[in-house]
Amino acid sequence: KAGVTQTPRYLIKTRGQQVTLSCSPISGHRSVSWYQQTPGQGLQFLFEYFSETQRNKGNFPGRFSGRQFSNSRSEMNVSTLELGDSALYLCASSKGTSGSLQETQYFGPGTRLLVL
Amino acid sequence: GNSVTQMEGPVTLSEEAFLTINCTYTATGYPSLFWYVQYPGEGLQLLLKATKADDKGSNKGFEATYRKETTSFHLEKGSVQVSDSAVYFCALVQQGGSEKLVFGKGMKLTVNP
């Protein structure tokens, strides 16, 4: 079974631009979560989508948004990029059937975003 | 709010040494607790978990016991191998309501032959 895939793997943007990251979950998984990983703040939860609806949300500003499609693939968008948005963005999927993030999360390799 | 505090390292051990990575948490209610591991060049993967007090999670020789009285979930392994070199993250999910997976800062472990 193929794992979680994320595209692109690397991205360079400039301040003020926007960016869209993509995540394809494991086949059959309906929950997709997004995380930001930085050396200073560590791993922080952004949001979780299930059945095309945002089910849980972390403490990030509205510049960070996401969506999920009917095939469970998810995209994350960051508008008006800031230098501090430079990070590794990780996506994770799970079956989602329990309705809880306690389910084992399967992580992708991440997209490394550099904002100049 | 919920938080996880863990040893940050980095830590370097010799092969066959005993490993303990401390993890304590702050949470309301009864969170589920996890250890995730990130091997070099790979994504995070679940190592073990425990969902209620006194539960012991175990996998690949690693163990951790959910201690509600000390709000801890320390990770231990009796004899580490070079292949255990990785970054280890302690995490929790608070049950019910709006959930999020909260991670500690991670600890980098290097095991030398």
Residue contact B32–A102, C-beta within 8 A: yes
* Residue A54 pLDDT exceeds 70: yes
d(CA B64, CA A115): 39
Mean residue pLDDT of chain B comes to 92
What order of strands is seen across the sheet that includes strand B19-21? B19-21, B75-77, B62-65, B56-59
In the chain, the amino acid numbered A56 is N
Worst-scoring range by mean pLDDT, A9-13, A96-100, B57-61, B87-91? Answer: A96-100
pLDDT of B22 reads: 97
Classify each residue of A53-84 as buried b or exposed e, where b means 16 or more C-beta atoms within 10 Å of its C-beta: eebbebebeeebbbebeeebebbbebeebeee
Per-residue CA distances from A93 to A27, A54, A96, B13, B111 (Å): 10, 14, 8, 33, 30
Characterise A96 by phi-psi region: left (phi > 0), alpha (psi -120 to 50), beta (else). left
* pLDDT tens sequence across B94-108: 766 667 789 999 999
Interface of A with B in 13-32 (CB under 8 A): none
pLDDT of A101 reads: 74
- Shortest Cα distance, chain B CAs vs residue A101, angstroms: 7
Residue contact A43–B45, C-beta within 8 A: no
With CA atoms as reference, the chain A residue closest to B96 would be: A100
Query: B42 vs A46, which has greater pLDDT?
Result: A46
Q: Provide DSSP, A7-38.
A: E-SEEEE-TT--EEEEEEPPTT--EEEEEEEE
Q: Are A108 and A92 in contact (CB under 8 A)?
A: yes
B55 by Cβ neighbours in 10 Å (0-12 / 13-18 / 19+) ranks as middle
Task: Identify all chain B residues contacting A104, using CB atoms and an 8 Å cutoff.
Answer: 46, 49
DSSP state of B53: T
Reading the block at residue B40, the tokens are 């070099």
* pLDDT tens sequence across A81-102: 999 999 999 999 998 777 677 7
Reading the block at residue B78, the tokens are 């009796």
Residues of B with CB under 8 A from a CB of A: 32, 36, 42-46, 49, 51, 89, 91, 93, 95, 98-106
